[in-house]
Structure 1
Amino acid sequence: MKEKKKVISFPLAIIPLLVMIGAMVVTIVKFEGSPHVPLILGTIVASFIAWRAGFVWKEIEDGIYEGIRMALPAIVIIIMVGLTIGAWIGGGIVATMIFYGLKLISPSLFLISMTIICSIVSIAIGSSWSTMGTIGVAGIGIGVSMGIPAPMVAGAIISGAYFGDKMSPLSDTTNLAAGIAGTDLFDHIKHMFYTTVPAFIIALIVYGVMGRKFADGAINNDKIAGVLGALEENFMISPWLLLVPVVVILLVVKKVPALPALTVGIILGWLCHILLQGGSVGEAVNTLQNGFVLSSGNELVDSLFNRGGIDAMMYTVSLTIVAMTFGGVMEQTGMLKVIVNEILKLAKTGRRLVVTTILSSFFTNVAAAEQYISIVLPGRMFKQAFADKSLHPKNLSRAVEDGGTVTSVFVPWNTCGVFIFATLGVHPFEYAPYAIFNFVGPLIAIIMALLGYKLTKLTSQETTKHEINLKNDRSQHIS
């Protein structure tokens, strides 16, 4: 008979999280260090508490490896995006996008335009990360060249990318949320309209107001002219190069998985580097590994283009692995579950339950450092509670998306925050005030829940069917 594990009490379970966050604040704010050591310290404390509670080292170690295993898809995407950025910069693709963006987009409308473009691309391909790693990189270059602060541009890019990610039937998080909650995918997407669309509209209005201060382009004309000149001098600019991102987008729309689609984009960018930009095979290969190197004499252009490659992503990869060791121990030893259960005690009514779920998903982003866990854990744990209050499971799926998917960008040690920092070059603390959609959405969801607006109840027929599904889930879990 399998030995029953001891349950770690709430006061003990919260200690590793408090230690980690305290160390994180001191390290980042006072010493301006990286989050690696605080996360390792939190992992050590969590492991010690679990060991004292009766867990053997093999169980703790399994939690660490399971956490890292969950992060492997993200790590592969991070590396592929690094390769894409290097290949597309070397191939002149990013330069071409920036060149025509500066020619065609008005500074006053840039933030709105970038938000809409990123949302369309993200809906089409179902990936906020791929959108930010391709269109977003060019967007940062265009915006900064216009004199718009990078954190503001990053906020617009993130808002558009995550709106599209939430509303796309191709998105992995959207499918995951619907699957965990036990609701139809398109019912889930339609139910998200009530919180997601208003948040997106508010974001566009705010970006429109922000953009008005950049309406007088005369201030930036010399800077823009300098950037355009440097681009033409150092790259072969052609609208034909825009076919590369178009091909990648079309492949994903045709339901080609992200990795093969990005691989095609990397190969095309690499060939453009050699055949169109005049680089040698050795230079093109080194760019994929070490990133692109440019000495144009224009400091702004050099700062925008000296990036990409596998090496540039290793900080992100290491932080992702370290973060997931902490999250893995917290999940495997049940400490995260104990904390979330304590939070669940606050949910006395259906309205409070939805609010609690939203807040729990955000808390899980902080504690487990992984967007997927912020969907899976609350979705799994609160599923029965929603059924007990006769709330339709699409309320649960929307709540974990509103609280988990979009708020992951605000946590510097979460895989999403880490990825954005590596890709766009802006720290989460800097872009946070400008990622309007990502914080307005959860606020609207909380207000709507407290008012009881669009909290769909189960019909008697749906209740019977849902109870059967819950029993099947429990039996499968036990087996």
Structure 2
Amino acid sequence: MQQRDIPFGLAIIPLLVMIGSMAVTIIKFEGSPHIPLILGAVVSAFIAWRLGHKWEEIESGIYHGIRLALPAIVIIIMVGVIIGAWIGGGVVATMVYYGLKLITPSFFLVSITLITAIVSLAIGSSWSTMGTIGVAGMGIGISMGIPAPMVAGAIISGSYFGDKMSPLSDTTNLASGISGSNLFEHIRHMLYSTIPGLLIALIAYWFLGRQFASTSMNSQEIISIMSELQNQFVISPWLLFIPLVVILLVARRVPALPALIVGIILGFFAHIFVQGGSVNEAVNTLYKGFTIKSENKLINELFNRGGIEAMMYTVSLTIVAMMFGGVLEKTGMLKSIVDKILLIAKTGKQLVVTTVLSSFFTNIVAAEQYISLVVPGRMYAKVYREKKLHPKNLSRALEDGGTLTSPFVPWNTCGVFILSTLGVHSFAYAPYAIINYVVPIISIIFAITGFTIVKLTDTEAKKMERFEQEEQVENV
């Protein structure tokens, strides 16, 4: 059977099947998204096979998709371990305890946004920030009577702001690299859309926080929580050095994985030597998570978590999602869909808008933020040069539409990670993750108006054309 390109009408079928079955599974049956994603992968594989793609090619696409997710899977597992280690070691309890003493409810949402933004900017990882500072922030906010979705939204906003703007971030480096723009030029260009987004978010969080101004920090409920924390854990300011060490390590460009391992080791020793747990308890906590039996239900909800076992749902969903995305990309279905979208972009302004929307669309289809940068980035790079648009326009559009929107997709690796880490579903926190949807809107407005859209000079265009020709010769 002769292999041929997959037309748009057939390429869109697996996506429609997946989205339709996903809606029924989640909304009607309140099930998990695993089976709809597998169904989408099966349908896409069948269509590709009928059109001449060999099974070996389809299978390699599945494995390629999974391989792309392996770094994320390792981080997911290690974050589960560090959550268990830090809860068992009393680190999270200490952060919650002092957070309740120092932060007022009315300014909590603003405070946690700024704190997570600074930490994520320093270490370049939204996931590491949410898995450490974010977990403690959830405990503090919920203890103050602030709804969990609202707290999660503020944590996500701050974490993704720092991740997006940090020169240490993998997505920031990936977006600049694939578009052909300079890293720091890319970061400076993102300031135009991201800083207004942060200011809008902070103002919104300030207004949202005002309704909690009447919550007294001396209320019986909060006093009860702090008292129970002291009964269950050894609370010591020295334990705050553990997260500080991890932040400093990554800030000094130590990769995220070794830095997390150091945090796990320190938390493990704190569990034994500070909290008085046995080696057996500390080891089991790393795998099964921490277990606490308290008369306070909130304490039980906050601290019965962590460990590798708790992350297996996330790991399995990540693998299944990447199976679906891998088949779509390898067989050209994703390209066929994006090419159809590209027909709409007749002008440079329309092209930037299309890039933002395509990156979000790829997040939905391929379920991985890296693919949402790579696929549109590869496909649109040449078109940007043809329309004399500077590559930093492309890199900013990729990040605004790809990096920031990934948490809104429940089956995306980011949405799944956040659910496992912060315990809040993407549909619940979506209205409060303000930076994540305001910045893409600002980016689209800038594209339509032409504001901050930079054109290539003739010299720059010729230089980029020569570089592309040399690169093609080297590849041959």
Aligned residue type for 2:220: D
The equivalent residue for 1:436 is 434
CA distance in 2, matches of 1:88, 1:263: 12
Deviation at 1:372, TM superposition (A): 0.2
Deviations 1:13-41 (A, max 9, x none): 00000000000000000100000000000
CA distance in 1, matches of 2:473, 2:379: 15
Asked if 1 retains the 8 angstrom alpha-carbon contact of 2:287 and 2:309, the reply is yes
Q: How does 1:235-274 map to 2 (within 5 A)?
A: 235-274=233-272
- Classify the secondary structure of the residue corresponding to 2:216: helix
Q: Which moved more, 1:360-369 or 1:463-472?
A: 463-472
Go from structure 1 to structure 2 and tell me whether the alpha carbon gap of 1:86 and 1:149 turns closer, same or farther (over 3 Å shift).
same
The corresponding residue for 1:405 is 403
Native 8 Å contact 1:7 1:334 kept in 2: yes
Q: Extract unaligned runs of 5+ from structure 1.
A: none
Within-5 A mapping of 1:52-451: 52-218=50-216, 221-451=219-449
What is the deviation of 1:220? 7.8
Q: 1: distance between equivalents of 2:246 and 2:40? A: 40
Note if contact 1:147-1:220 (Cα within 8 Å) is conserved in structure 2: no
Give the match for residue 18 of structure 2. Answer: 20
Look up the equivalent residue of 1:59 and give its one-letter code: E
The more displaced of 461-470 and 213-222 is 213-222
Deviations 1:134-159 (A, max 9, x none): 00000000000000000000000000
Partner of 1:461: 459
Question: Which residue identity lines up with residue 5 of structure 2 in the other structure?
Answer: V
Structure 2: distance between partners of 1:474 and 1:125:
36
Q: Secondary structure, in 3 states, of the residue corresponding to 1:217?
A: coil
RMSD of Structure 2 on Structure 1 (CA): 1.1
Q: Give the partner amino acid of 1:459.
A: T
**CA separation in 2, counterparts of 1:322 and 1:472?**
39
Give 2:74's aligned amino acid: V
What do the CA deviations read for 1:168-209 (whole angstroms, capped 9, x no partner)?
000000000000000100000000001000001000000000
SS of 1:278's equivalent in the other structure is coil
Conserved 8 A contact 1:187-1:394: yes
Q: In structure 1, how many angstroms separate the alpha carbons of the residues matched to 2:2 and 2:183?
A: 37
Q: Contact (CA 8 Å) 2:272, 2:279: kept in 1 or not?
A: yes
Inter-partner Cα distance in structure 1 for 2:470 and 2:412: 33
Quick check: 2:100–2:217 contact (8 Å CA) kept in 1? no
Distance 2:33 2:220 in 1: 39
Contact 1:291 1:307 in 2 (8 A): yes
Q: Tell whether the 8 Å contact from 2:104 to 2:217 is kept in structure 1 after alignment.
A: no
Within 2, Cα distance between the matches of 1:48 and 1:470?
Answer: 37
CA distance, structure 2, for counterparts of residue 5 and residue 382 of structure 1: 25
Between the two proteins, what is the percent identity of the paired residues?
68
Q: What's the secondary structure of 1:100's corresponding residue?
A: helix
2:44 paired residue among 30, 41, 46: 46
Post-superposition Cα deviations, 1:220-259, rounded to whole Å, max 9, x if no partner, equal 8222111101100000000000000000011101111111
**1:474 deviation in Å?**
3.9
- In structure 1, how many angstroms separate the alpha carbons of the residues matched to 2:218 and 2:66? 46
Distance 2:343 2:471 in 1: 23
Letter in 2 for 1:210: L
TM-score by length of 1: 0.98
Distance in structure 1 (CA, Å) of the matches to 2:327 and 2:321: 10
Corresponding residue of 1:10 = 8
Could you tell me how far 1:470 is from its partner in structure 2? 2.4
C-alpha contact 1:139 1:153 (8 A) present in aligned 2: yes
Count, aligned residues? 476
Mean Cα deviation higher: 169-178 or 466-475: 466-475
Opposite residue 239 of structure 1, the aligned amino acid is P
Q: C-alpha distance in 2, partners of 1:191/1:466?
A: 19
- What whole-Å deviation, never above 9, does each CA across 1:345-386 have from its counterpart, x for those lacking one? 000000000000000000000000000000000010000110
Q: Tell whether the 8 Å contact from 1:384 to 1:470 is kept in structure 2 after alignment.
A: no
8 Å CA contact retained: 2:2, 2:51: no
TM-score, scaled relative to structure 2 = 0.99
